[in-house]
Structure 1
Amino acid sequence: MSDVRLLDRSEQQVSAATEGSALSLAAKLPDLVVAAKEVASSVVHGVHGRRRAGIGETFWQFRPFVPGESAAGIDWRRSARDDRLYIREREWETAHTVAIWIDRSPSMGFISSLARQSKIDRALMLGLAAADLLVRGGERVSLLGLTRPLATRGIIPHFVEAMLIEERTPGYAPAELPANIVLPPRSHAVLISDFLTDPAALAERIRLLAARGAHGHLVQIADPAEETFPFTGHTEFLDVDSNARLRVGQAESFRRDYIARLTAHREAVKQAARQSGWSFLPHRTDRPASEALLALRMRLETDNPGIAR
């Protein structure tokens, strides 16, 4: 049987009294932030870390002129060398905007002995590391509903401070769904959560975020015990959102039905993403965090060839 526990609120929150400052949160993120910066350094090329044609001042390449194009782009000096006309292309240098949302609701405090860390810690690591990676690639990144888009290399402490301020607000309660806002056209969203919420409500929130054409990606964080249901014998289950308890004598007898319901729920979450043309990326906390970060970067590149490269 797997040992499990829930982090209490004092463990889930980052307290200024115990941590000293917002900067100390970066120190809590072990290898992923360092790995993300190393990955970013290896892939960033050019002014904004990408090599594709677009609006900018930096020369990229010459290519043959195509009939119907504006003659203003023709490089006459290069064209004079042979019998063809050539266009002088420049690199794309327009930064994109990416909004990141990190679920800090009670269910994210779950951790089992099978996991490397709790879901909330993994979500924070991925969200902050992704922000750092995107900024290093020339993008502007915001913490959804909390900060304006930023392009500063010190993005991690900015995000941590914003979360600290929110958690100190009287009456603060972490939400299971992202902020009820509409994102600008051509922007991107990265939602990191266990998505243990009503799929219909999630689909409606995604539709709102994407109402003006924003693209997005769901990163679902799961503990291995949540997916494999390794419980046997007498087991007590606790509801993280209430005082409800369930005691069962033979937990293993519930495994098949549990996994079937979990599979159905995940399919409903995937469908909520697909309805708005968003992607879905599952990630387990017994896997290296770098796997999810790299997979997310590839999703962002596939969604828009210029972003995060």
Structure 2
Amino acid sequence: MPALLAKADELARTLMMGGHGRRRAGNGSEFWQYRPAQAGDPARSIDWRRSGQSDGFFVREQEWQAAQSVHFWCDQSASMQFSSLKDQVSKMDRAALLTLALSILLMNGGERVALDGMGRPPGNGAQQLRRIAQVLCDTQSDEFGVADGADYLPQSRAVLMSDFLGPMEAIERVVGAAADRGIFGVLFQILDPVEETFPFQGRTVFTSMGGGLSHETLRAGDLKARYLDRLAERKDELQNLARQAGWRYECHHTDTPVQVALVWLFQALDGGAN
């Protein structure tokens, strides 16, 4: 967990992003800043203690507390533990790093963050971040993961990270229910480059990461066209699902820079990615 936290913090710092949160003056209970009093400010808004320390009058402003709640689902199933090369990160490692780095950026902007499986509502602060990191260090034995979504707050935001290679019905239910509650979200598909190219030839035994599925063939190359068609079909299904829900969809490969993925996710939550 400490290594994951350190790596995520370093990744978040490289972007030096800000302004995503709602940190500006408004109705709230948290102190934000002092500003010089202006004509029209009511006398009750003047902070007399602060004003007594200078020659002018100052108004104590509270922070506008309209921070978004952002819910994450990071698929930790057996399928996500796949990596085609020893020196290449697994899909789950990439998803965990992006989840934690994006959480850091959002928290720095004043947002509240939660993770499926954490058993706690969206929150902010170092303790919440450690809870998220702790859950991200776990793995699951199920072949494919399924998001929950039952505790997502209405009008909040959601980021679902997975390879989305399992049954579509489960993800359709989660996204549909979330959209009905006014939740905007992102479907972020993470794939290993081998899963895009299918470079197999000759006799090959395909075994799922969980060991529950296996298929042997003497002519693996003959399966390539059908496999790529099925993968393209799955991507189309995800894109259509996101479009119907008013969400965004993106496919990321583990051999591409993680910074590019983080920028896209950050902008997508802020409404700036296409």
Long gaps (5+) in structure 1: 1-21, 60-73, 78-89, 305-309
1:262 aligns with 2:245: no
Q: Which residue of 2 aligns with 1:26?
A: 5
Identity of matched residues, % = 35
Deviations 1:93-147 (A, max 9, x none): 5211101111001100111139731111111111111111111111110112423
Partner in structure 2 of residue 137 of structure 1: 109
In the alignment, the residues of structure 2 paired with residue 145 and residue 288 of structure 1 have an alpha-carbon distance, to the nearest angstrom, of 28
Amino acid at match of 2:133: V
Residue in 2 that maps onto 1:119: 91
| 1:148 is the counterpart of 2:121 | yes
Residue 100 of structure 1: which of 35, 59, 72 is its match? 72
1:160 is aligned to 2:128: no
CA contact under 8 A between 1:182 and 1:212: conserved in structure 2?
no
Q: CA deviation at 1:250?
A: 2.5
Partner of 1:11: none
- Report the Cα distance in structure 2 between the residues aligned to 1:236 and 1:209, rounded to whole angstroms: 39
The 5-angstrom pairing of residues 36-47 of structure 1 reads 36-39=12-15, 42-44=16-18
Give the TM-score, by structure 2 length: 0.77
Match of 1:246 among 205, 215, 220: 215
Aligned equivalent of 2:11: 35
Q: Deviation of residue 161 (structure 1)?
A: 2.6
Contact 1:182 1:210 in 2 (8 A): no
Question: With structure 1 as the length reference, what TM-score do the two structures score?
Answer: 0.69
Say yes or no: does 1:289 pair with 2:258: yes
- Whether the 8 Å contact between 1:102 and 1:192 is mirrored in structure 2 is yes
For 2:214 and 2:178, the matched residues in 1 are separated by 35
The verdict on how the C-alpha distance between 1:229 and 1:194 changes in structure 2, with shifts beyond 3 A counting, is same
Q: Distance in 2 between matches of 1:154 and 1:174?
A: 31
Change (3 A) 1:292 1:155: farther
- Cα pair 2:144 2:166 within 8 Å, conserved: no
CA distance in 2, matches of 1:102, 1:186: 20
Inter-partner Cα distance in structure 2 for 1:220 and 1:33: 23
1:43 & 1:244 partners in 2: Cα distance?
43
Moved more, 257-266 or 151-160: 151-160
Alignment partner of 2:83: what SS? strand
Q: 1:181 aligns with which of 136, 150, 169?
A: 150
Cα shift at 1:199:
1.9
Give the partner amino acid of 2:99.
G
How many residue pairs align between the two structures? 246
> Contact 1:132/1:155 (CA < 8 Å) preserved in 2?
no
For residues 275 and 150 of structure 1, what CA distance do their matches in structure 2 show? 29
For residues 21 and 237 of structure 2, the distance between their equivalents in structure 1, rounded to whole angstroms, comes to 36
Following superposition, the deviation at residue 43 of structure 1 comes to 2.8
One of 185, 193, 212 as aligned partner of 2:181:
212
4+ residue segments displaced more than 6 Å: 51-54, 56-59
Q: Is the 8 A contact 2:186 2:249 kept in 1?
A: yes
Question: Are residues 244 and 275 of structure 1, via their aligned partners in 2, closer, same or farther at CA, if it must alter by over 3 Å?
Answer: same
Q: Counterparts of 1:300 and 1:92 in 2: how far apart (Å)?
A: 19
Q: In the alignment, residue 125 of structure 2 is paired with which amino acid?
A: T
Please state if 1:275 is matched with 2:244.
yes
Distance 1:23 1:174, change over 3 A: farther
Counterpart residue type for residue 269 of structure 1? L
Deviation at 1:249, TM superposition (A): 2.2
Contact 2:154 2:183 in 1 (8 A): yes
Task: Tell me the residue number matched to 1:65.
Answer: none
Specify which structure has the bigger relative contact order, considering alpha-carbon pairs within 8 angstroms and separated by 6 or more residues.
1
Q: 1:76, CA displacement in angstroms?
A: 5.2
Question: Which residue, 164, 181, 184 being the options, matches 1:195?
Answer: 164
Question: Which digits, 9 at most, give the CA deviation of each residue in 1:278-308, with x for residues without a partner?
Answer: 111110001011111110001011179xxxx
Give yes or no for contact 1:115–1:223 (8 Å, CA) kept in 2.
Answer: no
Task: Say whether the 8 Å CA contact 2:22–2:66 is kept in structure 1.
Answer: no
Deviations 1:140-197 (A, max 9, x none): 1011242321210454422123456x769xxx85861111505222210111110112
